[in-house]
Structure 1
């Protein structure tokens, strides 16, 4: 389990990256990742066909 300080730092870093990017795909991916670390972000973005393709491939260790 991650401690709360690590989660706060990771969410802050991801929030900064979201603000800097102009690519909508990257922005959605970063926001989805940020929701794992930031309790204030409760709404996840809907899965796209690309997300589903990534989820269905691999052994799980690279996800």
Structure 2
């Protein structure tokens, strides 16, 4: 499942770049690529623990 997030990011970036390079830009494809990119980044960022959680746990113990 972890690799799925990275695939979404890469695929979204490729689609967004592809939509941007054409002479006749298709905005729907560009938006779709950006959405894939952002969803992939969001899903990865959910797995990163917060720095504040560690500080809160240490303060509660004291």
TM-score relative to the length of structure 2: 0.44
TM-score (structure 1 length as normaliser)? 0.44
Identify the structure with bigger relative contact order (alpha carbons < 8 Å, sequence gap 6+). Answer: 2
Q: Radius of gyration: which is bigger?
A: 2
